[in-house]
C-alpha cells in the first residue's frame, strides 16, 4: 500500500511503458497517479490543488530539452516537489544528464514497468520517525508547572500503549494550563503504576505535540503488526487500529492539517480497508463490532464504520472507500474549532449557544478543509453536509442534493452517536432502524441492514 496521501504524476510519451502502467490496476489502487503524454496537460494538473500531486516522474522523451526546461518550470512554482527523471534510452543521453548535473531527485534508468516507480515512492515517503531517541525533557517531575495546553495532546489512559520503559515524557493535567510531569522518557513503567493513576481518576496522559507524532508512529507500527497476525482475533485488531486512528485524528483536529499527518492518516485508512476486506464480515457482523468496540473516540470509529458501509454499498475501489474514510475522520473538525468540549452525542439537550455552534460546525469544517486545499471536492461536500438527509420530515435538514459519501458519513455518525455511545440494546437499535435509518436513501439503508444481518423491511 502506498504510504502517501495524494497522487503521483507521470509525464511520459513512451507508449509501451505508459500503456503498461494503465493495466496495473492493483498497483494503481495503492499508488494513485495521473499519466499524461504532454507537459501542457501536466501543467494543468499540477495547478489544481485538489489533485494534490506529491511526486513527479518526468521522461526525457517528452521534449527537445530532455526534461530540463520542464524541471525548471515545475521548480519555479513547486520548489520542494520531488521530481524523478526517466531515461528510457540512456545510451542516447549526454553525460551531463546521466550524471544528474541538473538536480533531479534521482534518475531512473530504463524502467520496465510501474513497480520501478512505486519502489521510489516507497523510499520517498517512508517514515524516518523513531521514538527510541526521545530524551528526558527538562521539566522536573512531580512539580506543578504552567504549560500551554495547545502544545499537548491527550491520550486516553485506556488506549495508552504500555512499554516496559516509557518512550515518552508523560504529563497529567491538573487545571486549564497546570500540568505535572509524572514520567521521564526512559523511566520504568509498569502496569501497577499505570493502575494507580487509573484508580486516582486520571483518564488521560498528555504528550508534547512533537513527541505525540512519534507516539502515533508507535501505534501505527503496533497496529500493522497485529493486523498481519493470523492468530489474533478481529476485535483486538480493531482495538489497535482505532487506537492508531484516534491518535492521528486528534493530531489533525487539535494541532492542524499537514501533509505528513495526512500521509499517516492514509496509512490508517489502508489498514482499515485491509481489515474490512479481509475480515469475514458475514460472520463478524456490524452488530458484533458495535458490541465490542466500546466507547472509542468518535472520529476514528466513524471513519472505520464509514469504510465498512462504503465497502458494503458497493464502492468497490479502495480509492472510494478511502475517500469515505478520510472525510469521516475529519467530518467534525469544525466542531473542535468552535468548542473543543462539545459532545455531539448529547444533541437533545443543547442550549441556545450550543445549538448555534452545532448549526455552524459543518460549514466551518468545510472552510477549514478548503483552506488546506488538499482534498477532493466530494470530501468538502461530505463535511459540509454530513447532517443533511435525503428523506424525513425535517425540512431544514432534507435535501436531494447530497452525494453518496455524505450519506455514508451521516449514517456512520448516527451509528456512533445513537447506537454505540448509548450502549446498544433492542430499544435503541429499533429506534435507529425505524426512525434514523429511514432518513437515508434506500441503498444506504439496505447496506446497513445487510451489515447488521437483517433483511430489509419495507
Ligand atoms: Fe457533526
Ligand atoms: Fe460526528
Q: What pTM does this model have?
A: 0.88
pLDDT in tens, 68-81: 999 999 999 999 99
The domains of the chain are located at: 7-125, 144-209, 233-451
Residues lying with their CB under 5 A of ligand 2, a single-atom ion: 332, 344, 413
333 alpha carbon – ligand 2 mean position (Å): 9
Average pLDDT, the chain: 89
pLDDT in tens, 274-310: 888 877 654 556 766 776 666 668 899 999 999 999 9
412 alpha carbon – ligand 1 mean position (Å): 11
344 alpha carbon – ligand 1 mean position (Å): 7
Answer whether 111's CB lies under 8 Å from 84's CB: no
Domains 7-125 and 233-451 share a fold: no
Q: Evaluate if residue 20 carries a pLDDT over 60.
A: yes
* 207 to 99, 152, 236: CA distances (angstroms): 46, 5, 24
Q: Evaluate if residue 457 carries a pLDDT over 80.
A: no
**Closest ligand (CA of 298):** 2
Assigned fold of 233-451: Hypothetical protein af1432 (1.10.3210)
User: What pLDDT sits at residue 454?
Assistant: 59
- In the block, cell 492518516 appears at 265
User: What pLDDT sits at residue 458?
Assistant: 36
- The residues pairing with 214 across neighbouring beta strands, listed in sequence order, are none
- Average pLDDT on 436-455 reads 88
Distance of alpha carbon 330 from alpha carbon 257, whole angstroms: 10
Between 111 and 287, whose confidence is greater?
A: 111
Q: Evaluate if residue 92 carries a pLDDT over 60.
A: yes
422 alpha carbon – ligand 1 mean position (Å): 17
Of 50-54, 174-178, 342-346, where does the model show the most confidence?
50-54
30 alpha carbon – ligand 2 mean position (Å): 28
User: What pLDDT sits at residue 323?
Assistant: 93
387 alpha carbon – ligand 1 mean position (Å): 6
User: What pLDDT sits at residue 456?
Assistant: 47
**∠ CA 301-215-206 to the nearest 5 degrees?**
85
Label each residue of the chain as H, E or C: CCCCCCEEEEECCCHHHHHHHHCCHHHHHHCCEEEECCHHHHHHHHHCHHHCEEEEEEEHHHCCCCCHHHHHHHHHHCCCCCEEEEECCHHHCCHHHHCCCCCCCEEEECCCCCHHHHHHHHHHHCCCCCCCCCCCCCCCECCEEECCHHHEEEEEHHHCCCCCECCCCEEEECCCCEEEEEECCCCECCHHHHHHHHHCCCCEEEEEHHHHHHHHHHHHHHHHHHHCCCCCCHHHHHHHHHHHHHHHHHHHHHHCCCHHHHHHHHHHHHHHHHHHHHCCCCCCCHHHHHHHHCCCCHHHHHHHHHHHHHHHHCCCCHHHHHHHHHHHHCCCHHHHHHCCCCCHHHHHHCCHHHHHHHHHHHHHHHHHHHHHCCCCHHHHHHHHCCCCECCCCCHHHECCCCCHHHHHHHHHHHHHHHHHCCCCCHHHHHHHHHHHHHHCCHHHHHHHHHHCCCCCCC
Answer whether 233's CB lies under 8 Å from 286's CB: no
pLDDT in tens, 323-360: 999 999 999 999 888 777 777 767 677 788 888 888 99
CATH of domain 7-125: 3.40.50.2300
Q: Evaluate if residue 455 carries a pLDDT over 60.
A: no
**Closest ligand (CA of 413):** 2
Amino acid at each position: 500500500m502506498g504510504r502517501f496521501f495524494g497522487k503521483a504524476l507521470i509525464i511520459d510519451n513512451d507508449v509501451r511503458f505508459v500503456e503498461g502502467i494503465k493495466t496495473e490496476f492493483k498497483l494503481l489502487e495503492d499508488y494513485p497517479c495521473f499519466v499524461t503524454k504532454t507537459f501542457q496537460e501536466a501543467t494543468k494538473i499540477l495547478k489544481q490543488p485538489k489533485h494534490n500531486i506529491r511526486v513527479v516522474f518526468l521522461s526525457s522523451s517528452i521534449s527537445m530539452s530532455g526534461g530540463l526546461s520542464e524541471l525548471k518550470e515545475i521548480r519555479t512554482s513547486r520548489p520542494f516537489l520531488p521530481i524523478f527523471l526517466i531515461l528510457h534510452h540512456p545510451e542516447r543521453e549526454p553525460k551531463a544528464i546521466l550524471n544528474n548535473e541538473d538536480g533531479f531527485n534521482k534518475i531512473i534508468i530504463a524502467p520496465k514497468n510501474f513497480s520501478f516507480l512505486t519502489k521510489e515512492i516507497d523510499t520517498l515517503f517512508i517514515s524516518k520517525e523513531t521514538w527510541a531517541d526521545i530524551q528526558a525533557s527538562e521539566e522536573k517531575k512531580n512539580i506543578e508547572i504552567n504549560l500551554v495546553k495547545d502544545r499537548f495532546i491527550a491520550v486516553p489512559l485506556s488506549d495508552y500503549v504500555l512499554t516496559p520503559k516509557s518512550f515518552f515524557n508523560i504529563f497529567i493535567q491538573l487545571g486549564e494550563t497546570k500540568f505535572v510531569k509524572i514520567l521521564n522518557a526512559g523511566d520504568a513503567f509498569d502496569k501497577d503504576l499505570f493502575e494507580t493513576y487509573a484508580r486516582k481518576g486520571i483518564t488521560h496522559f498528555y504528550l508534547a505535540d512533537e513527541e505525540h507524532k512519534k507516539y502515533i508512529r508507535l501505534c501505527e507500527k503496533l497496529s500493522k503488526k497485529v493486523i498481519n497476525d493470523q492468530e489474533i482475533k478481529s476485535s483486538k485488531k480493531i482495538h489497535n487500529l482505532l487506537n492508531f486512528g484516534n491518535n492521528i485524528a486528534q493530531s489533525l483536529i487539535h494541532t492542524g492539517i499537514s501533509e505528513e499527518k495526512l500521509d499517516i492518516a492514509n496509512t490508517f485508512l489502508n489498514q482499515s480497508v485491509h481489515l474490512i476486506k479481509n475480515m469475514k464480515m458475514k460472520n463478524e457482523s456490524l452488530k458484533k463490532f458495535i458490541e465490542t468496540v466500546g466507547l472509542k473516540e468518535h472520529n476514528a470509529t466513524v471513519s472505520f464504520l464509514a469504510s465498512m458501509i462504503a465497502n458494503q454499498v458497493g464502492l468497490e475501489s479502495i480509492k472510494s472507500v478511502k475517500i469515505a474514510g478520510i472525510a469521516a475522520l475529519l467530518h467534525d473538525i469544525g466542531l473542535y474549532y468552535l468548542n473543543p468540549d462539545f459532545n455531539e452525542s448529547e444533541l437533545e439537550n443543547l442550549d441556545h449557544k450550543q445549538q448555534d455552534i452545532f448549526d455552524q460546525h459543518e460549514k466551518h469544517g468545510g472552510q477549514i478543509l478548503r483552506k488546506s486545499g488538499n482534498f477532493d471536492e466530494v470530501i468538502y461536500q461530505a463535511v459540509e453536509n454530513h447532517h443533511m438527509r435525503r428523506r424525513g420530515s425535517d425540512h431544514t435538514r432534507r435535501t436531494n442534493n447530497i452525494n453518496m459519501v455524505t450519506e455514508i458519513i451521516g449514517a456512520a455518525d448516527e451509528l456512533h452517536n445513537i447506537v454505540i455511545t448509548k450502549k446498544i440494546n433492542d430499544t435503541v437499535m429499533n429506534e435507529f432502524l425505524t426512525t434514523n435509518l429511514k432518513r437515508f436513501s434506500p441503498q444506504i439503508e439496505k447496506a446497513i441492514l445487510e451489515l447488521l444481518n437483517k433483511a430489509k423491511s419495507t
